[in-house]
Each structure stands twice: as structure tokens, then as C-alpha cells.
Amino acid sequence: MMLISCGTNKDSAEKGSIFYSEFETPYGMPPFEKITNEDFKPAFEKGIEQQSNEIDSIANNSEAPTFENTIVALDNSGKILSRVSRVFSGLKGAENNDTLQAIAEEMSPLLSEHSDNIYLNDKLFERINALHNDSANLGLNTEQYRLLDMYYKNFVRSGIMLSDEQKDELREINKELSALTLNFGNNLLKETNSYELVIDNEADLAGLPQGVVSAAAVTAKDKDMEGKWVFTLHKPSWLPFLQYADNRDLREKLYKAMYNRGDNDNEFDNKKNINKIVNLRIQKANMLGYATHADFVMEERMAKTPENVYKLLNDVWEYALPQTKKEAAELQTIIDAEGGDFKLQSWDWWYYTEKLREKKYALNEAELKPYFKMENVREGVFATANKLYGLNFTKLESVPVYHPEVEAYEVTEADGSHLAIFYTDYFPRSGKNAGAWMSSFRGQEIKDGENIRPLIFNVGNFTRATPETPSLLTLDEVETLFHEFGHALHGMLSNVTYSGVSGTSVPRDFVELPSQIMEHWAFHPEVLKLYAKHYETGEIIPDSLIAKMEAASKFNMGFITTEFIGAALLDMDYHTQTEEREFDVRDFEKKSMEKIGLISEIIPRYRSTYFSHIFSGGYSAGYYSYLWSEVLDSDAFQPFVENGIFDTASAQSFRKNVLSKGNSDDPMTLYKKYRGAEPNPVYLLKNRGFVN
């Protein structure tokens, strides 16, 4: 049952008012049962009005600018807008519908204009600029200077130095970009949901584990096709089909449907959106004085320049590509041995990889899945957080959530004091975006002496339960759950003063450190013993299986690395363009991959037309961040390798110097306070099996 409805029994004057003040609920949790779709538009409008008035008051303050009356006032402004935006964004990502999409399309240009009205406000910038010029004499601590400098740069990078004519032009660019990125994401969601591979011949299910077959039968029943089997473009559906289905023609059909999303020359096609987005980003970067969009982005990242990103990606590529070619040759050998009269193709990779894994390590994922019941994995990540940081998680009953599958937990410190609220939402639905992510319904800050604690949520698209089995996760899903929980910890453990620098509000190529370091615990033998229990017998995963997992831990790493770097380089190639032009998206992508020598048996992890990270998310010229952060996380994990997987001193240092600090200091400064030196990239290469 949906908890978000289009309520009609409220007086029109009250619509949206639920967002006008702090929620009067336990821990300030959003009262989802009282929020209707009709509340959003008036709340957005009220929030814009409120913050506009606050900005006017700050800009026109007759008193000389101070850190408190200008920077802190700016940081504290827009509480209504923040409240409604966080709830709306959360629902649009996880529980979307036509009404929310229409509201988003209507609000998008208004929110873009509102943002420009703030960051192109000359009077406000005069005050910020005066403070920035005099910052050495203001007696600011590190966090305060960081906040001041952040706002100063935000204004400059938003175009405050441009002429009035250029500012008007920039406003139009921002509005159009906002609409285009929204449209890209909507197209992808609709195309993903519109495809079904319907199977009515049971023989076509040959090779598939019973759990996969049962899930497809449930999907068919939900779509009024009982007695058939339906596979979709949601990853828990298409990936196991590619791994296990013996029918090669159907594997090809489903895989091509997946990788042609947004590229079918239909109403959901994204090629024109890509053209416009790339060209507008070039135009905006040039207007602001940058050669490329990537140069604009990198200025505020740890990487600093596109050249540094290309160097990292190409350096690792040199190790990965030869390994990938060896893997492809091994898979082709299996095909030939079985009498297959064909060359390995991209839709064959997963299927023959499973065969090779079993041949090399006597290990297949179907053998492992019974030990990874979703609820047990979640308890495992909670237990890991308890052993590292002393955190406890207590499920809250009868609290408002936006969908019945969502669960809420109170997170407390070792001494019992309240730390955060944590929501989990782990299964695919038609209204949910693909992938997995973390966000918040409220961030952390200290205001009027009160440490306001955050409301954090994780969203995933993991394998659902079937009538025969509970939700049993793949290894990739287990790793993803730990990854997103790492982001959640970054939000939950934040302990700064100002909201503008709290939690995960850090550079993109630093934000993946807390998430990726958590992956190191997922399959460590000591951690597996805490949570990996057979869903039927309760038996802890045996040492023999753990040994097989460890032996296979670097298996297929060439493929994993090259498909990722292929996507990261494609992102960089788009965003290092210096001149606007008409892009043939298919040709651009083809040449980008030919340039680096990506073998034909592999495609980049994200093809352009469904690369939502860079065309509808916040990762434009930033997909490399996962690899950049892996240099950090591989090095950051070493104290636990050397001192013990649950070493308290290392955990407390990581919490104190990284997880609690948000963006209150330079990321490398924070890292070196934890580690004592800059990261050594050799650990990344070792973790991927490229060097010994």
C-alpha cells in the first residue's frame, strides 16, 4: 500500500504547510502518512519565498558584514526549501510517479532561477567578498574559513563576475540544463520499465537456478501473466539471466535491450539530450573562463586537473587490458571445447565467466547465495559498525515510512545516546531509479547549541524474496549493501557545526572513500562468520567456502576494471571537449573506446544513453572518482590489515579524522591526519591482483 497519496480533503490554504516548520514527530522524521503530492508545489513556492526574503535581509543588512550576519545567516537560510526538497528528492528517486515527475518538471526552472538569484546577487557577494579579503583578520577556525571560502568560490563559479548580459545568458543555460538532465533520467526510468522479456516455453529457462525462475514467475504474476516468466531490465533480473541461461539467443536479446536503453530512436531516446547537455556545459565552462567542463569541475576536486585523471585511468588501464585479453581467451577456450561455433560476444561474458569460475575454483554463486540472506547481511553490516565504532541499531516500529518495504532504525552510540535515524529500502519497484544510493531527509548541524542529528537513508535494487526463498543476495549485492552503508556512516557520524560542510558534502573524488573502505569488511573471514548463515539451517558459512571465495577474489578483475575505466574515460572524453558541435553519440562512443583499445567482447559499464551518473546525476567529469577513491580506500584499510580487522584505535582515528569531519577541512589534510602520509597507489594494484 502506498503511503503517498493525492489528498483532496485538506483546505487549499493548508497545502504544503506541513513543511513550514520542523516536523513534530519522534526525532523529526518526515510524517509520510500526512504528506500528499499536493503539498509539494506550495511548499516549494513557500520555501523559495522564505529564502528569497532571508537573502534580501542579509544582502541589505545596514551593519558591516561579519561571519555571523553574512556567512552563518546564508548557511542557515532556506530551511523550508531544504525540508521539502529532501523529502521530494527522496521520493522521486525511490517512489516516483507521473504526478511527482510533473511537479519536478514544473519546479525545475523555478529552482534553477532561485539558485541563480542567490549566487548572482551582487549585494550579497559584496559582503562575502569583503569577508574573504579580510579572512586573515577574522579569527576564524578551520571549519569557519572552509565555509567562507566555499561560499566565495560558489559565487565566483556561479558567474558573479560576469557582465549582466552574460549573467542573463547563464541563467538560461542553467534552466535548460536542469530540464535536460531531468528529462534524461525520466526517459531512462520509463524505458527501463517498459521492457519485458516474456518466456512461455519452460525449455528456455534451462540453466537458470530455481530462485531466478521463481522470481521471474512472481514478476509475471504481478503483471497478470501467470504461468509465464518475465525478465526485466532491473539488474536483479537481467544479470542472473546472463549468468546462467543456456539459451544464447535470449541472452543476446535481453542484453541488447539493456545496453540500448535510451538509444532506440523512440520517445525515450536520450541522444539529443546528450548533445544539448554536453554543448551547454561547454558553453557554460567557456563563459566562466574554463577551457572545458572537466577543467571547471576538477578545480574543486582532489584530482585538480583532467590530466591527472587521465593519468590515473590510463596507468591502471595498462595493467587491466592485458589481463582482460587473457580472460577473454580463457572464455573462448571453453566455448571452443563445448563445440560452440562462434566468437565470444559481450552477452556471453557473464555466462562463460560463471563456467570458468566453477572450473577454476569449484565455486558458483548459486552455492553461495543461501548464506547471504538480505536480513543477515544487513545485520552483518550493523555488527561491523558496532565492533568498529560502538554503534547500535534498534528497529523502530509504527513510525511513518514512504513504502511498506522501508524499515527505520534508531542508531545510538555505545553509551546509548542518540546518533541518527537510518532508513533502508532495498528492493526494486517500477517507481524506483536503478542502482543504489545514500541520501538524507535531514543533515547534521549544530544550531543554537543543539547538535541536530541526521536522518539518513539507503536505497537499493536487490534480489527480492520468492514464495520459496527469502531475499538471497549475490556477492555484488552484498558488496553494494556494504558500500552504501559506508556512505550512510559518513552521514550519520558527521559532527561539524555548519550544514554547508556536513556529512557527505565533500568533493566527489573523496566521497567514495567512506563507502569503498566498507567493502573491505564485506567478505573478510572474521566478518563473514558474523553474518553469513545458511537461510535454512542457520549454519555459518564453512571455512571451505570462504577459502574458495578468497581464492576467487581477484577473478575476472580485468573485465571489472576495463568496463569501469571504459565508462570513466568516456565521461572524460565528453567533458574535455573544447568546442560546441553536433555529436553523433554512437560514433563518439565507438571512437572513444577504439582509442583505448577496449576489446569488442566488452562494452563500457555505462553506454552514453543510460549513463545517468554523468547526464542526470552529479558525476559529470567525475565517474573516475570511484577509482581515485580506491587509491585512498586501499591505503586507508592497511592499518586494519596490519593491526586487526576490528582494530579500535584505527577505527576511532578514521572516525575522528575522516567520517566526522565532512568538508570542514581539505580532504588530503584530513586523510593525512588519519594515515600520516598521502596514499600509496600500490595497494590498489595489489587489491585488483595486478601486482603481487
Mean pLDDT per 10-residue segment, the chain (692 residues): 33 79 96 96 98 98 98 98 98 95 96 97 98 98 98 98 97 97 96 96 96 95 96 95 97 98 97 98 98 97 97 97 98 97 97 96 92 98 98 96 97 98 96 95 97 98 94 96 98 98 96 98 98 98 96 96 98 97 96 97 97 96 97 98 98 98 98 97 95 90
**CA-based torsion, 317, 321, 323, 327: positive or negative:** positive
Question: Whole-model pTM?
Answer: 0.95
Amino acid of residue 406: V
Q: Return all residues near 290 (Cβ < 8 A) that are at least 6 apart.
A: 296, 299
Q: Grid coordinates representing 217?
A: 514467475
Scored b (16 or more CB within 10 A) or e, 545-573 reads ebebbeebeebbbbbbbbbbbbbbbbbbb
Other C-beta atoms closer than 10 Å to the C-beta of 164 total 9
Phi first, then psi: give them for residue 138, nearest 5 degrees. Answer: -95, -5
Phi first, then psi: give them for residue 343, nearest 5 degrees. Answer: -90, 140
| Cβ 197 vs Cβ 250: under 8 Å | yes
Q: Name the nearest CA neighbour of 687 among 613, 619, 632, 611.
A: 632
Q: Return all residues near 38 (Cβ < 8 A) that are at least 6 apart.
A: 6, 7, 8, 10, 15, 16
From residue 327, alpha-carbon distances to 315, 332, 627 in Å are 20, 9, 21
Phi first, then psi: give them for residue 340, nearest 5 degrees. Answer: -75, 120
Catalytic residues: 484
Beta bridge partners of 204: none
Amino acid of residue 303: A
Q: Name the nearest CA neighbour of 377 among 473, 463, 492, 487.
A: 473
CA 653-658-664 angle, to 5 degrees, is 130
| Cβ 198 vs Cβ 220: under 8 Å | yes
Phi-psi region for residue 16, left (φ > 0), alpha (ψ -120 to 50) or beta?
A: left
Cα–Cα dist 151/118, whole Å: 11
Q: Name the nearest CA neighbour of 364 among 354, 376, 351, 375.
A: 354
Residue entry with cell 567520517: 659
Expressed in angstroms, the distance from the first to the final Cα of the chain is: 53
Nearest-Å Rg of the Cα atoms of the chain is 25
Q: What is the DSSP letter of 329?
A: H
**CA-based torsion, 10, 14, 20, 25: positive or negative:** negative
CA 256-261-263 angle, to 5 degrees, is 95
Cα–Cα dist 43/50, whole Å: 10
Q: Grid coordinates representing 248?
A: 544464447
Phi first, then psi: give them for residue 584, nearest 5 degrees. Answer: -85, 100
| Cβ 527 vs Cβ 519: under 8 Å | no
| Cβ 261 vs Cβ 199: under 8 Å | no
pLDDT at 2: 27
pLDDT at 14: 82
Other C-beta atoms closer than 10 Å to the C-beta of 266 total 10
Cα–Cα dist 173/159, whole Å: 12
> Which is it for strands 197-199 and 418-425: parallel, antiparallel or unpaired?
unpaired
At residue 630, the 3 state secondary structure works out as helix
From residue 22, alpha-carbon distances to 29, 67, 87, 89, 525 in Å are 9, 26, 13, 18, 44
Other C-beta atoms closer than 10 Å to the C-beta of 292 total 21
Q: Which CB contacts under 8 angstroms, 24+ apart, belong to 22-25?
A: 22/83, 23/83, 25/400
Q: Return all residues near 325 (Cβ < 8 A) that are at least 6 apart.
A: 558, 599
Q: What is the DSSP letter of 413?
A: -
Cα–Cα dist 330/456, whole Å: 44
pLDDT at 12: 45
> Which is it for strands 455-459 and 418-425: parallel, antiparallel or unpaired?
parallel
Scored b (16 or more CB within 10 A) or e, 226-256 reads eebbbbbbbbbbbbbbbbbbebeebbeebbe
From residue 133, alpha-carbon distances to 147, 157, 166 in Å are 14, 17, 25
Other C-beta atoms closer than 10 Å to the C-beta of 216 total 24
